[in-house]
Structure 1
Amino acid sequence: MSDEIKHECGLAYIRLRKPFSYYLQKYGTVMYGLNKLYLLMEKQHNRGQDGAGVAAVKLNVEPGYPFLHRIRSNAPQPIADIFFKIGEEVKELEKYQPDILKHPGLMKGHLPFLGELLLGHLRYGTQGKNNVEFCHPFFKRDLVPGKNLALAGNFNLVNTEELFALVNIEPGVFQKQSDLAAMMEVIHHFLSKEDEKNPNTANIANVLKKAVPLFDGGFTVGGLIGNGSSFVMRDAHGIRPAYYYINDEVIVAASERASIRTAFNVGENEVLELLPANAIIVDNDGNYVIEQIQEPKERRACSFERIYFSRGSDEKIYRERIALGDHLSKAVLESVDYSLRNTIFSYIPNTAEVAFYGLIKGMENYLNQIKIQRILSWGNDFTEDKLQEMINRKIRQEKIAIKDVKLRTFITEDSSRNEMVQHVYDITYGTVKRNEDTLVVIDDSIVRGTTLKESIIRMLARLQPKKIIVVSSAPQIRYPDCYGIDMSKLGDFIAFKAAIALLKEKGMEDILETVYKRIKELQHDNLLHTENVVRQVYKPFTTEEISNKIAQLITPPEVNVPVEVIYQTIEDLHECCPTNTGDWYFTGNYPTAGGNKVVNNAFLNYYEGKNVRGY
């Protein structure tokens, strides 16, 4: 994705089901659980680089000794920072007792994070700031073990104010900025009530069944309880991803299937998807159940997980990204008038590489058909040279753009900073025949279009191609997201800017006033959640009209090379990614009522000139 956006988060959960002595004997280390947690987190580091955190619960600790521990970091490399600090603690212990690693009991007693229950989290800052106190897991401490709670997750909630009101809490400044704080208060409220009925043996399923239906959002959340119980739960629409693996040694859950497969070296079919509205609940003896905690709703798993967020090392995601590129090949062929001799294909940025392979696959299939038709048309009228020339025709592929090191400038002057932004990417000179070759570059998606305009288009234009075609493996992003991705300001979206520009050009600006008045009416009646009024902004125009206007908007005024933008269609997206049908950022069809409220608020902010979040 050429436009950087903050998105998602990553969850890693491990419950060891054997004594530490077992792992020492079988795997040669009492650090087995922590080592696996580190791997799970590193293999998901793409999901969060603003911060990380780890919580651990120890079982059967003597009264008076701590059993719940946490470490968090917002260092430039937070995972490495956390596990370096844990490693330093191990080294310190070895100074005084060199063979302590061979004594599980001593290690457990002296190393805070050597717990049977482990919860790791990777954070991208969405709701809240990037200070270390916003990093998950959050804690609720209590003198009663069964009322201690550690919570971390991949989610956004859009009804935090209502949640605080439900449990009669007036949120402080910090709590208002964190949806996890609201979720924590609600879960802890019901946990405390359940613990009072059954001290230290609270029925976690009952707690979740009361709390979870109150949350409006998409979520995968893990929780550790001081008495040794734990859980991982998923929202009713399955918006956020969750996978698990269980054997007689461990219970593992994570945000991505591939991370579990790699960390534990297991097959695809051994790692299962946690179904929407379900939770894995583990008691203090390591027994588990997978239980439905609320009524499942229409599956609306986030399609961006397949397009961009999740790592492409998952074989299903890899195939889907290939398909996304392949499905774009017909539109691209039409745009270049089927002239492949004078067309060069490339991709920006590196995360679009797999979709690029799919696009090339589509082009090669077409070229092979042409080869067969031409050869057959020759009959016996051909020479070896003629046949050789036809067989050797290839799709022209080049590494046109290279993302340079992150450029920094000590100059704060806007014009100078803009000059630096133009050079985020570097180009490969000598690859394009000037004024002859058409340049096709594929991106995962186009959000704001800022990097395209300020850097990429300018850079590509220096090669003087006949035409530049930017291809997006995702459809037009038209609406805010409020379930995990930090896209909440309508005015940031290049598709919205294009629609506004078209309305102005065609003298239809009164539509904006109509939309604004309708949203104000809904706001007055407390009905913002009932409909997405912003759809009316796009309604007068075809997808092609908006794409053409986007192409104009991302073309710098001094660039004379024609620019075209081709987007994935919604229909092809769903065909390529059949299990992840969540498409609200493209269609405005939100899975929960809170989404409508967010998009309407986002329009109010835009129209009233407020540069603030929509939720």
Structure 2
Amino acid sequence: MSDQIKHECGVAFIRLLKPLSYYQKKYGTALYGLNKLYLLMEKQHNRGQDGAGVATIKLDIEPGKRYISRHRSMASNAVADIFEYIQKKFAEIQKEMPEKMADTEWLKEHVSFTGEVLLGHLRYGTHGKNSIESCHPFLRQNNWMTRNLVIAGNFNMTNVDELLQQLYELGQHPKEQADTVTVLEKIGHFLDTENQGLFDQYKREGMNDNREISKMIANDLDVAKILTKSAKNWDGGYTIVGIMGHGDAFVMRDPSGIRPAYYFQNDEIVVAASERPALQTAFNIPVEEIKEIKPGHALIVKKNGQISEDMFSEPKEKKSCSFERIYFSRGSDSSIYRERKQLGRLLCPQILDVVNNDIKNTVFSYIPNTAEVAFYGMVEGVHKYIKKYQRDRLLNRADKISEEELTEVLALAPRVEKIAIKDVKLRTFITQDADRSEMVAHVYDSTYGLIKRDNDTLVVLDDSIVRGTTLKQSILKILDRLGPKKVVVVSSAPQIRYPDCYGIDMSRMGEFVAFEAAINLLKEQGKEDIIIDVYNKCKASTDVPKEEVENYVKAIYAPFTDQEISDRIAKIITPANIKAEVHVLYQTLDNLHKACPDHLGDWYFSGDYPTPGGNKVVNRAFVNWMEGNNQRAYM
């Protein structure tokens, strides 16, 4: 993606189902769980670079001894920083008492992070302060082991104000307005309620030994019931992992399946993560053995090792985030790899049309590394076209083909080159805007001598175009220096028209070049009344219950075809004083759904939000834009 955006966090969960001694004997280390957690997190480092955190819980610890360990970091390489901190504890033991490294009981009693339940989190901050306090996992502490709660997640709620009001009505006084706090406190409240209910029940039944009651509560806590009550009014996309102090754990996924969640279990472990390849790589698991947590369900692992997948909320139509497939998730997932190639293939008819099928004088390339797989698919599509062209030329003719023409037809092949190369070492550290723009123009290098000056068309594939800023300030200027007659910028994703409110940091209307293009066209055609009408409707919907609100911003785009908006985008992103003619092509929504049939969440393209809160957010985003308010449209 030429315009970098922050996006979904990542989670990693491990529950060891055997004693630590088992792993010491079989794998030669008592740190089996920690080593695997490190791998799971490193294999998902693409999901968060604002910070990371780890928490572990030891099972069956005697009172008076610490059983919860947590460490968080905001270092530039946070995962490595965390595990270096943890490793130091064992390095000292290895140096002073090497024999103890094989004594799992001693390690568990004396060294932190030697627990059987492990949780890791990688953070991309979509809102709030970028501070250590914002890094997951979060703790809700209590002297009762079964009331302790640790959570971490990949989530964003659209109705934080509503959820906060409910906490106020419960008598709570949250310390800040953030969805992490509301989620933690909501689950914590019903965890407390369940604890108290069981305590009262056992007392009524004549039990007087509070220590025995605590053990009974740990065994009988109904985790699914706690989650059902907690999530009753949540509106958002989420994968949330939680661990109770005594060892019960859960991984819950929103009813629309917006955020991804995968798991694997055998007789040794239960593991879950945001991305399937991380599980495959860390544990050498065949892809067919990895399961996806169903929408509205929670993977629940009881302290006694019982495992179930229980429904906590009625599943809705599945709307898994398609941006995961286009860009966010790592392309090493076999399904995602195939889908990205298909996205490239499906663009070929549009591309061939805009270059007038002139393969001989067209160079095909791509911009960022994340577009590479789609680029392979696009090239395959061009090869398919060439084979058909060659077949038609050779078979469908009445006269004999000359040797010269035969050679020319058979020699036809796509000219595939790596034109733009990102210089990752370059940092735009200068603060003045004019100087920064000059530096941005040099973030990419180009390969010279591949373009026939004033003759070739250059097709460059991007996986998505959000703002178009980097294209205008840098990439197109660089490409123009190569001397192409025409530059065709192709997006493997459709036009991004609407804000996300489920975890991607795309929440301001003014950030979208497609929105800017539609507004320009409305003003140019004297249709400002549409803008005012949308504003009035959005403003009036502010105090209306979210269930009664519709997406009024769709009217901004309604007067125009996709191509009209694409043509205006081309004008917007074309820098002054470049010679090349610039065209912009976008993937169609229909083709996106053909390529990713099991991941139909497309609200940022279509405006069709999977939850009522989405419509509330998009309308608020438009009001913010109209009123010059640059804040996010959700809390």
Q: Could you say which residue in structure 1 is the equivalent of 2:533?
A: 514
Structure 1 distance, partners of 2:540, 2:433, is 40
Q: Match of 1:109, as an amino acid? A: E
Q: Match of 1:238, as an amino acid? A: G
Are 2:13 and 2:119, in contact at CA under 8 Å, matched by a contact in 1? yes
Q: Please state how far the C-alpha of 1:286 moved relative to its aligned partner.
A: 1.2
Residues 355-394 of structure 1: pairs in structure 2 closer than 5 A? 355-377=374-396, 381=400, 387-394=406-413
Q: Match of 1:134, as an amino acid? A: S
Q: Could you say which residue in structure 1 is the equivalent of 2:64?
A: 64
Structure 2 distance, partners of 1:515, 1:613, is 19
Q: Could you say which residue in structure 2 is the equivalent of 1:86?
A: 86
Q: Secondary structure at the match of 1:458?
A: helix
Q: Deviations 1:333-376 (Å, cap 9, x if unpaired)? A: 00000000000010110000000001001000000111222233
Q: Match of 1:366, as an amino acid? A: Y
Structure 1 distance, partners of 2:546, 2:162, is 15
Residues 122-271 of structure 1: pairs in structure 2 closer than 5 A? 122-168=122-168, 175-176=176-177, 178-198=178-198, 199-200=217-218, 201-271=220-290
Are 1:528 and 1:600, in contact at CA under 8 Å, matched by a contact in 2? no
> What are the ranges of 5 or more consecutive residues in structure 2 without an aligned counterpart?
199-216
Question: Which residue, out of 434, 452, 475, partners 1:433?
Answer: 452
Structure 1 distance, partners of 2:429, 2:588, is 43
Are 1:433 and 1:465, in contact at CA under 8 Å, matched by a contact in 2? yes
Q: Could you say which residue in structure 2 is the equivalent of 1:345?
A: 364
Structure 2 distance, partners of 1:561, 1:430, is 16
Structure 2 distance, partners of 1:281, 1:209, is 13
Q: Please state how far the C-alpha of 1:462 moved relative to its aligned partner.
A: 0.9
Q: Could you say which residue in structure 2 is the equivalent of 1:575?
A: 594
Residues 1:408 and 2:427 are matched in the alignment = yes
Structure 2 distance, partners of 1:413, 1:269, is 53
Structure 1 distance, partners of 2:353, 2:26, is 60
Question: Which residue, out of 462, 466, 471, partners 1:443?
Answer: 462
Are 1:9 and 1:121, in contact at CA under 8 Å, matched by a contact in 2? yes
Q: Match of 2:163, as an amino acid? A: L
Q: Deviations 1:217-263 (Å, cap 9, x if unpaired)? A: 01011001101100001000000011110000000111111111111
Structure 2 distance, partners of 1:34, 1:152, is 17
Q: Could you say which residue in structure 2 is the equivalent of 1:287?
A: 306
Structure 2 distance, partners of 1:20, 1:526, is 52
* Cα pair distance change 1:376/1:107, threshold 3 Å: same
* Cα pair distance change 1:527/1:578, threshold 3 Å: closer
> What are the ranges of 5 or more consecutive residues in structure 1 without an aligned counterpart?
none
Q: Could you say which residue in structure 1 is the equivalent of 2:613?
A: 594
Q: Please state how far the C-alpha of 1:96 moved relative to its aligned partner.
A: 2.3
Q: Match of 2:380, as an amino acid? A: K
Q: Match of 2:569, as an amino acid? A: I
Q: Could you say which residue in structure 1 is the equivalent of 2:202?
A: none
Q: Could you say which residue in structure 2 is the equivalent of 1:480?
A: 499
Residues 1:542 and 2:530 are matched in the alignment = no
Structure 2 distance, partners of 1:294, 1:85, is 39
Residues 1:396 and 2:415 are matched in the alignment = yes
Q: Secondary structure at the match of 2:300?
A: strand
Residues 1:333 and 2:352 are matched in the alignment = yes
Are 2:255 and 2:315, in contact at CA under 8 Å, matched by a contact in 1? yes
Q: TM-score, normalised by structure 1?
A: 0.97
Q: Could you say which residue in structure 2 is the equivalent of 1:24?
A: 24
Are 2:546 and 2:612, in contact at CA under 8 Å, matched by a contact in 1? no
Are 1:324 and 1:473, in contact at CA under 8 Å, matched by a contact in 2? yes
Q: Please state how far the C-alpha of 1:213 moved relative to its aligned partner.
A: 2.3
Are 1:127 and 1:156, in contact at CA under 8 Å, matched by a contact in 2? no
Residues 27-66 of structure 1: pairs in structure 2 closer than 5 A? 27-66=27-66
* Cα pair distance change 1:170/1:551, threshold 3 Å: farther
* Cα pair distance change 1:386/1:559, threshold 3 Å: closer
Residues 1:95 and 2:95 are matched in the alignment = yes
* Cα pair distance change 1:114/1:338, threshold 3 Å: same
Q: TM-score, normalised by structure 2?
A: 0.94
Q: Secondary structure at the match of 1:214?
A: coil
Question: Which residue, out of 553, 572, 576, partners 1:553?
Answer: 572
Q: Please state how far the C-alpha of 1:409 moved relative to its aligned partner.
A: 4.8
Q: Please state how far the C-alpha of 1:290 moved relative to its aligned partner.
A: 0.9
* Cα pair distance change 1:507/1:271, threshold 3 Å: same
Structure 2 distance, partners of 1:85, 1:336, is 56
Q: Secondary structure at the match of 2:359?
A: coil
Aligned residues: 613
Q: Match of 1:263, as an amino acid? A: A
Q: Which stretch of structure 1 is more off in the superposition, 498-507 or 509-518?
A: 509-518
Structure 2 distance, partners of 1:172, 1:281, is 27
Q: Please state how far the C-alpha of 1:27 moved relative to its aligned partner.
A: 0.8
Question: Which residue, out of 283, 296, 301, partners 1:277?
Answer: 296
Q: Which stretch of structure 1 is more off in the superposition, 98-107 or 335-344?
A: 98-107
Structure 1 distance, partners of 2:370, 2:458, is 19
Question: Which residue, out of 331, 337, 343, partners 1:318?
Answer: 337
* Cα pair distance change 1:529/1:113, threshold 3 Å: farther
Q: Secondary structure at the match of 2:98?
A: coil
Q: Match of 1:162, as an amino acid? A: E
Structure 2 distance, partners of 1:373, 1:390, is 10
Residues 1:454 and 2:461 are matched in the alignment = no
Structure 2 distance, partners of 1:395, 1:292, is 51
Are 2:322 and 2:602, in contact at CA under 8 Å, matched by a contact in 1? yes
Are 1:529 and 1:594, in contact at CA under 8 Å, matched by a contact in 2? no
Q: Please state how far the C-alpha of 1:528 moved relative to its aligned partner.
A: 8.4
Q: Please state how far the C-alpha of 1:484 moved relative to its aligned partner.
A: 1.0
Q: Match of 1:485, as an amino acid? A: I
Structure 1 distance, partners of 2:395, 2:538, is 63
Q: Match of 2:43, as an amino acid? A: K
Q: Secondary structure at the match of 1:356?
A: helix
Q: Match of 2:250, as an amino acid? A: F
Name segments (4+ residues, structure 1) moved above 6 Å.
none
Q: Which stretch of structure 1 is more off in the superposition, 191-200 or 430-439?
A: 191-200
Are 2:167 and 2:173, in contact at CA under 8 Å, matched by a contact in 1? no
Q: Match of 1:100, as an amino acid? A: K
Structure 2 distance, partners of 1:419, 1:289, is 57
Q: Please state how far the C-alpha of 1:95 moved relative to its aligned partner.
A: 2.6
